[in-house]
Amino acid sequence: MLWAGLATPLSPAPQQAAAAEGKKVLTVAVAQSVDSLSPFLATRLVSTSIHRLMYENLTNYDVKDAHPIPGLATKWTPSADKLTWTYAIRSGTKWSDGEPLTAEDVAWTFNKMMSDDGAGTANGSYITNFAKVTAPSPTELVIQLKKPQATMTALDVPIVPKHIWEKVEDFSEFNNDKAFPIVGSGPFVLTGYKADSYVRLEPNKNFWRGAPKFDELLFKYYKDGDAAVAALQKGEVSFVNNLTPAQSAALKGQKNIKVNDAPGRRFYALATNPGARSKDGERFGDGHPSLLDERVRHALFMAVDRETVIDKVFQGHAVEGEGYIPPRFADYFWKPSADQKLAYDPAKAAQLLDEAGYKKNSDGKRVGKDGKPINYRVLCHATDPNDKAVGQYLTEWWGELGIGVTLNCLDNVTDPWLAGTYDLAFDGWSVNPDPDFVLSIHTCAALPASPEETGATDNFICDKQYDDLYAKQLAEYDPDKRADLVKQLQSRLYDTGYMNVMAYPNAVEAYRTDQIESITTMPEDAGNIYGQDGYWSWWSAVPAAASGDSSDGSGSAGVLIGVAAGVVVLVGAGVFLAMRRRSTAEDRE
């Protein structure tokens, strides 16, 4: 593979120098590993959040109400039949290395995704309906569609510099993690990285909205959430997200710490293995055959007490789950009807299992068609305490039905998930203002081409009725009609029983007010800071007057010395995987 670098990777010396110079450093504690620094491969929330900082999209989302606003494109005009879209690309924009950013870069990015399966790994669903993409001039981009596509103002695809990326030979393997700084167009430039340790970014002086106010932005990896909270309390990090109720309660009222608890954009779910398959119909994996029966899936979910999950696990920092899209997105939010709802009803669940032919033996155990007691393997993220807590409840609830549960809590659940060697798994995704992406991952088109390859599928769902509804919503430009189709999609997904959305967790996070004077939430009135639909939080953050001025470890400058010295103690060496990974509950939007 070919790659043109501009500098060498970050070493301890520059970090110590930053502390000595008193730079303003915003340090964000994260529990999730980066899956790839290539925007063509990355799907984890931490990775896509970092890519939003590195690369500008055609359009962005307004911080107040998430309506489409200009990004690289200043305006966009559809033809009368809405099959041709013309975008005016911002004039005078430059890449972070000073080279001009033109419509040719945008066209090249999309064309590469259209012609190279590897380049379409993460975001290929956005371009499958593209017929042709051209750049008639440096400030004009034209996209011709095969059929109408409602997501043309919500193409969440990072645009990369052609003069850099055209040197890459294999997009399916290239992780973009060897040479720094990495050339981009967003508010920050990535200047240093160590797997499972840290990601370091600095302001992009060429960013068209203006450079960020912090001198450095550092994402620092903590495998243990309590250790991250302790680091926040000591002033070693500026910000921590995904707080447990106990951590949130402990931090409230502490000097120089502000807790943000707001409605989130995520759902928290159980996903079944419906029989892993590839596009050619080949089956693989070893999911329990009983889960192919819709009655069994319904029975399992009717034995899940969502109220207990909200009250005992999330302790009120979540809303009970129903449809696939959180209530934050009111236009698309859906609830099952009273007759349709799979309400908590253990007696009805037992009845369904009996009807499906999975009855109890003399020992009170449900028996499969092979005569063996049913025991489901449930994939669980080792770094997520919610998975473990809910898993214990599942063991109890399903045990009363006569079904055994084995919790497989792993640091990296990728391998068994992709191989289909699981029965159920804890699942969670962030939802964008336009829900197309999270809907697309359950289509037949998202399945892997073969068992050896990696598709965009979440958990191997392939349902013709769902696919037909998906195609209709994608082609519907009328907002009300499209919203109705999206609700029908959720209804179908709910009825099939492949996914059980248990909760919509709040965004519970905290930051040090002696390091961060102000920071923008999204939505501004009551929203999240981490994992936004854009770069507003870190770009807008204003350093506190005392931030970065000390080198004794009490401020953000002091922590930089500890990053280099303490990385090995904290996490050791990490490894990149050029595939979809789920090592925590926080995945792609």
pLDDT at 546: 65
For residue 315, the SS3 value is coil
Q: How far apart are CA 120 and CA 43, in angstroms?
A: 12
Q: Classify residue 424 by its DSSP letter.
A: E
302 or 578, which is more confident: 302
pLDDT at 144: 98
C-alpha–C-alpha distance, residues 503 and 514, integer Å: 34
Q: What is the pLDDT of residue 547?
A: 57
| Residue the block writes with tokens 């840290």 | 198
Instruction: Report the mean per-residue pLDDT for the chain.
Output: 90
CA distances 206 to 25, 165, 303, 314, 340, Å, are: 20, 19, 55, 43, 54
pLDDT tens string 44-79? 899 999 999 999 999 999 999 999 999 999 999 999
Inform me whether the pLDDT recorded for 241 exceeds 50. Answer: yes
Mean pLDDT of 96-124: 96
Query: pLDDT for 146-164, tens place per residue?
Result: 999 999 999 999 999 999 9
Q: What does the alpha-carbon distance between residue 115 and residue 132 come to, in Å, rounded to a whole number?
A: 11
Q: Is the pLDDT of residue 10 over 70?
A: no
Asked whether residue 569 carries a pLDDT value surpassing 50, the answer given is: no
**């900082």: which residue's tokens?**
53
Peptide bond into 327 cis (omega under 30): no
What pTM, to 2 d.p., does this model score? 0.85
Confidence of residue 40 (pLDDT cuts 50, 70, 90): very high
pLDDT in tens, 447-488: 999 998 888 899 999 999 999 999 999 999 999 999 999 999
Residue 112, C-beta contacts closer than 8 angstroms, at least 6 positions apart: 40, 119, 165, 171
**Residue whose entry in the numeric block shows the structure tokens 């998930």:** 417
Q: Could you read off the pLDDT of 305-340 as tens digits, one per residue?
A: 999 999 999 999 999 999 999 999 999 999 999 999
Question: At 21, is the pLDDT very low, low, confident or very high (cuts 50, 70, 90)?
Answer: low
SS (H, E, C) 231-280: HHHCCCCCEECCCCHHHHHHHCCCCCEEEEEEECCEEEEEEECCCCECCC
For residue 390, which amino acid is it? Answer: V
**Can you give the pLDDT at residue 588?**
46
Kindly give the residue spans of alpha helices, DSSP state H, lying in 478-533: 479-496
Q: Is the pLDDT of residue 222 over 80?
A: yes
- Whole-number pLDDT of residue 456: 87
Q: Extract long-range pairs of 45-48: CB within 8 Å, 24+ residues apart.
A: 45/430, 45/531, 45/586, 45/587, 45/588, 45/589, 46/219, 46/586, 48/588, 48/589
Mean pLDDT, to the nearest integer, of 131-144? 98
Q: State the chain's maximal CA–CA distance in angstroms.
A: 77
In single-letter form, the type of residue at position 287 comes to G
- 9: pLDDT strictly greater than 60: no
